[in-house]
C-alpha cells in the first residue's frame, strides 16, 4: 500500500527555539512523510520566516488575522486548514496537535496511514468548567442545527494528537469556517476550548452519515498529563509537577503497545529539559 503524506497542523506563539525543538522531534518520527502547517500568533514573538528554513523539515508557517489565546487557538487551526486546502501539494491525512507535546515512540506517518482516523470521544459532563460556555456558544448551536445534531449527540474530549483522512477533514474544515468567523475569536467572552467540542462532534456526525469507512478504532495519540492549578500569571509549564518527566515517559511506554505511535504533553519550556532530551533519544537511538 502506498503511504500518503500527513499534514501536521499546530498553532505557535512564543519562543521559536521551543518550536524548533518540537519540529526536530516530529521529524525524527515521521521523516519526509509529513509537512507542518504552523499558525504563528500575530501577538507572539515568533518570526514565521525563521521557521521556513530548517533544513530537511518541511514547514509552511504564516500569521493570519485569526486571533489565538491560551484559552482557544482554534482560529489558528482554521487558518492552517485554509492554507493546506489551497496548497497544490497532495496529502492523505491531517494530524492536529499543540505546541506542548513531543513524540516518544513510533513513526507518526506510518501509524496514521495504518489507522486512518483517531480522536478522543467522551460524553460531556456538566461539571466540565467550559460546559456552559459550550452550550451557550451561538456558533456551535447554529452548526449543530445545520447538521441536525441533538444535544445528546455532542461529544467532547481533548484533540491534541487526533488525525483524520483528508476527505473528512476537508468537509469538517468547510463547516468550521462557515460557522466560526474571525471576529468570534477576538471576543474573549465567547471563548472556550472549541476544538474539544466541535472536532469530535462534527467528525462523529459526518462519519455516521457519509464516511462510515472512517469510523475510528483508535484514540488520539497524545497522552496528556493533568495540570495542577498555577498561580495567576504563571505558565503551568513552568511548574515542574505539571511537566512530563523521564519516569512518566517510561511508565507510558511500559503500558502502551510497542506498535503504537505515542506522544506526551506537557513538556517543560526549559530548553535543556532532561525529559525532552530523553524523548528524542527514544526516537533516534
Confidence (pLDDT) at 228: 86
Which three three-digit cell numbers place residue 144?
449543530
Q: For the segment 31-56, what is each residue's pLDDT rounded down to a tens digit?
A: 999 999 999 999 999 999 999 988 89
pLDDT of 86 above 70: yes
166 confidence band (pLDDT: 50, 70, 90): very high
Percent of the chain at pLDDT > 70 equals 99
pLDDT of residue 70: 86
pLDDT exceeds cutoff 70 at 1: no
What's the confidence (pLDDT) of residue 179?
A: 98
What pLDDT is stored for residue 183 in this prediction?
Answer: 96
**What would the mean pLDDT of 87-92 be, rounded to a whole number?**
97
Q: Tell me the mean pLDDT in the region 95-106.
A: 96
3-class DSSP assignment, residue 39: strand
Residue 137 has pLDDT above 90, yes or no: yes
In the chain, count H helices and then E strands. 9, 8
Q: Quick check: is 48 in a domain?
A: yes
Reported confidence tier of residue 205, pLDDT bands at 50, 70, 90: very high
Residue whose C-alpha cell reads 462534527 in the numeric block: 202
The CA-atom distances, in angstroms, between 50 and each of 45, 47, 54, 69, 264 are: 11, 5, 8, 22, 26
Per cent of the chain over pLDDT 90 is 92
Number of domains in the chain: 1
Region 227-238: mean pLDDT is: 85
Is 284 within the bounds of a domain?
A: no
Q: Is the pLDDT of residue 285 over 80?
A: no
Give mean pLDDT, residues 264-282.
Answer: 96
Q: Is residue 88 part of a domain?
A: yes
The number of beta carbons lying within 10 Å of the beta carbon of residue 164 is 27
CB-based contacts of 54: which residues, under 8 Å, 6+ apart? 20, 23
Task: Dig out the grid coordinates for 223 from the structure.
Answer: 497522552
Is residue 285 situated within a structural domain? no
Give the domain extent around 225. 6-279
CATH classification of the domain holding 116? 3.90.550
Q: Is pLDDT of 16 > 70?
A: yes
Mean pLDDT for all residues in the chain:
95
For 62-115, the DSSP string reads E--S----SS--HHHHHHHHHHHHH-SS--SEEEE--TTEEEEES-HHHHHHHH
SS3 state of residue 131: helix
Q: What is the mean pLDDT of residues 25-30?
A: 97
Amino acid at each position: 500500500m502506498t503511504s500518503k503524506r500527513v499534514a501536521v497542523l499546530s498553532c505557535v506563539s512564543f519562543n521559536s527555539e521551543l518550536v524548533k525543538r518540537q519540529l526536530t522531534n516530529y521529524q525524527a518520527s515521521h521523516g519526509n512523510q509529513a509537512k507542518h502547517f504552523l499558525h504563528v500568533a500575530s501577538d507572539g514573538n515568533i518570526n514565521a520566516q525563521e521557521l521556513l528554513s530548517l533544513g530537511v523539515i518541511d514547514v509552511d508557517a504564516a500569521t493570519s488575522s485569526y486571533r489565538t489565546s491560551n484559552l482557544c487557538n482554534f482560529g489558528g487551526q482554521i487558518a492552517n486548514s485554509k492554507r493546506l486546502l489551497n496548497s497544490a501539494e497532495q496529502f492523505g491525512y491531517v494530524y492536529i496537535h499543540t505546541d506542548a507535546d513531543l513524540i516518544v515512540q513510533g513513526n507518526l506517518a506510518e501509524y496514521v496511514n495504518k489507522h486512518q482516523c483517531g480522536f478522543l470521544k467522551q460524553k460531556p459532563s456538566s461539571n466540565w468548567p467550559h460546559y456552559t460556555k459550550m452550550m451557550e456558544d451561538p456558533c456551535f448551536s447554529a452548526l449543530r442545527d445545520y447538521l441536525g445534531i441533538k444535544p445528546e449527540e455532542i461529544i467532547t474530549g481533548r484533540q491534541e494528537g487526533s488525525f483524520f483522512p483528508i476527505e473528512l477533514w476537508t468537509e469538517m474544515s468547510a463547516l468550521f469556517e462557515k460557522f466560526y468567523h474571525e471576529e468570534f475569536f477576538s471576543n474573549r467572552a465567547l471563548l472556550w476550548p472549541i476544538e474539544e467540542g466541535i472536532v469530535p462532534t462534527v467528525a462523529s456526525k459526518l462519519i455516521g452519515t457519509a464516511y462510515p469507512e472512517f469510523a475510528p478504532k483508535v484514540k488520539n495519540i497524545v497522552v496528556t498529563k493533568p495540570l495542577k492549578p498555577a498561580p495567576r500569571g504563571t505558565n503551568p509549564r513552568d511548574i515542574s509537577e505539571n511537566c512530563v518527566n523521564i519516569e512518566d515517559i517510561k511508565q507510558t511506554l511500559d503500558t502502551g503497545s510497542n506498535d503504537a505511535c505515542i506522544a506526551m504533553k506537557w513538556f517543560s519550556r526549559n530548553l535543556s529539559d532532561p525529559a525532552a532530551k530523553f524523548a528524542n533519544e527514544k526516537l533516534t537511538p
